[in-house]
Amino acid sequence: EKGGWSSFMAKEISEEPEAVANTLIGRTADGAVHLEELAPLGDEVLAGIDRIVVIACGTAAYAGMLAKYAVESWSRIPVDVELSHEFRYRSPVITERTLVISISQSGETMDTLMAVKFARESGAKVLSVCNTQGSSIPRESDAVLYTHAGPEVAVASTKAFVAQVAALYLVGLHLATVRGTLDAKAIARNVRQLHDIPEKLAKTIESANRLRELAHWMADTQSVLFLGRNVGYPIAMEGALKLKELAYIHAEGFAAGELKHGPIALIEPGQVVFVIVPSPRDKLSLHPKVVSNIQEIRARGARVIAIAEQGDAAVHPYADEVIPIPLAAPLFEPILAVAPLHIFAMELAAAKGLDVDQPRNLAKSVTVE
């Protein structure tokens, strides 16, 4: 079933572009978004919701964190992302105007299943984004939007992540449509960006060979830090989680803006730091801020591996390595930036001689709380 691939994870990373493409199929037409799956929620209800709470665990939660930036910007609805097990055991403020969105590849994660039941008992409508037909979470939800990533076998979630982000971006554009917060032109522009992702993702994956060499060179590394800002922040978290679970290396993801508030104390000569660099075309002007973060850590001896937009000349003088990603609108770039981090974690685990598909102590679906 692995085909010619060395592991399921390698195969599944190669399927990331297809996972996005298949998740979009039949859900857009003429530059508009059509999500029949959301009909059970009712457009009137969706037009009236005043808050979204995303519940998920692990990588699925990072997909939610990333989608928050797009959904808030497009629909103007506040979005909170909560780990399912934290949400469930306190007294969250939920009303009938709260839309809860659960995200789960397996549809069997007990923490998320319990949180979904709890949300509905508390009066919220629940939309679930799920990759597994016939699983438990969809059965407990008011509406389900399936990701079409295909079966994911490796414990590390890769193609499901990019499919989850694509599905959530569709939900964001649907909400912007029913609430009138984006005009048809803007929706069409974003739909086009989504449809461009598979090809760009395939290019990103093809050009990631350099990461293989880097991973070999780094097989003895004890600690890796990941910095990202804005949409790069959830990607930094995802990069760190993958390295922990696959290569058993201490890894932390930080918001780059936090650096001076503590984490910079960790920087000593030789510390490897991945930095997800925002696009220089970003209207928020975050690019120079992150480049200056790179200068600060470089000055303290860090080895910097930057994931940056192709042609970003400002990064080269300061980074030890630059992994280029194709141009995309700022909200879409992180869907490209994540693939090199998936590849790197897999290659580092392989370089250490570890089982890439079945890391120690972990199960593909966590069916106990």
Instruction: Using CB under 6 A, list all residues that contact ligand M6R.
Output: 57-60, 104-106, 109, 112, 155-157, 241, 245, 365-366
Nearer to ligand M6R, 10 or 241 (CB): 241
Nearer to ligand M6R, 266 or 366 (CB): 366
Distance CA 368, CA 276 (A): 34
Least distance CB 361 / ligand M6R (angstroms): 11
What distance in Å separates the CA atoms of residue 264 and residue 15, rounded to the nearest whole number?
Answer: 36
Helices 333-351, 16-24: crossing angle, 10 deg rounding: 150
Smallest distance from the beta carbon of 219 to ligand M6R, in angstroms? Answer: 21
Shortest distance, position 204 Cβ to ligand M6R, whole Å: 19
| CB nearer ligand M6R, residue 12 or residue 309 | 12
91 phi and psi, to 5 degrees? Answer: -120, 70
The span from the CA of 134 to the CA of 324, in Å, is: 39
Measured from the CB of residue 356, what is the shortest distance to ligand M6R in angstroms?
12
**Angle between helix 184-206 and 16-24 (nearest 10):** 160
- DSSP sequence for 47-85: HH--EEEEEE-HHHHHHHHHHHHHHHHHH---EEEEEHH
Supply the minimum distance, in Å, between the C-beta of residue 152 and ligand M6R.
8
Closest-by-Cβ residue to ligand M6R is 58
CB 184 within 8 A of CB 173: no
CB of 334 vs ligand M6R, minimal distance in Å: 16
Minimum distance from CB of 241 to ligand M6R (Å)? 6
Closer Cβ to ligand M6R, 117 or 195, answer by number: 117
User: 96 or 369, CB closer to ligand M6R?
Assistant: 369
Contact yes or no for 75/128 (Cβ under 8 A): no
Looking at the Cβ atoms of 19 and 156, the one nearer to ligand M6R is 156
CA dihedral 193, 304, 202, 188 (to 10 degrees): 0
Between 120 and 244, CB nearer to ligand M6R: 244
C-beta of 85: minimal distance to ligand M6R in Å?
Answer: 11
Planar angle of CA 164, 167, 173, nearest 5 degrees:
140
DSSP E strand stretches across 139-221:
143-146
For residues 227 and 57, what is the distance between their CA atoms, to the nearest angstrom? Answer: 21
Instruction: Give the 3-state secondary structure of residue 236.
Output: helix
Judged by CB, which is closer to ligand M6R: 14, or 106? 106
CB of 279 to ligand M6R, least distance (A): 26
- Exposure string over 60-93, b if 16+ CB within 10 A, otherwise e: bbbbbbbbbbbbeebbebebebbbbbebbeeebe
Q: Based on CB atoms, which residue is closest to ligand M6R, 159 or 174? A: 159
HSE of 86, CA atoms in CB hemisphere, 13 A? 11
